[in-house]
Amino acid sequence: MGFEGRRKGKFKVARKFIEKMKKSQEEVRAVLEKAQKEMKRYVDRKQEKAEEYKIRDLVLLSIKDLKWQMVERRSKKLTK
C-alpha cells in the first residue's frame, strides 16, 4: 500500500513524443527568427530616415487637402 511512483517503462512513448515536439518547436522558432530578420532587413532597406523637428522650427504646411475638410469650420489662418 502507499504511493507507488510513476513507472518509467509505461511512459516511454509519451516522453518520445514530448521530446519530438520540443525539437520541432525549436526548429520552428529558429526558422521564424530567421524569417523575421530577413523581413526586417528588407523593410529597413527601403526606410528613409525621418527628420527630427525641434520646438520653434519653421516648417511648411500643405493645405491642399485641408480646405475641403474644413468647409464648415474654416480657419483663415490655415486656409488663406
pLDDT tens-digit readout, 31-78: 999 999 999 999 888 888 888 999 999 988 777 766 555 556 656 665
Domain ranges in the chain are 9-69
Q: What pLDDT is recorded for position 45?
A: 87
Q: What pLDDT is recorded for position 68?
A: 58
Q: Is the pLDDT of residue 2 over 60?
A: no
Q: Is the pLDDT of residue 28 over 60?
A: yes
Closest of 78, 80, 74 to residue 61, by C-alpha: 78
C-alpha radius of gyration, the chain, whole number: 31
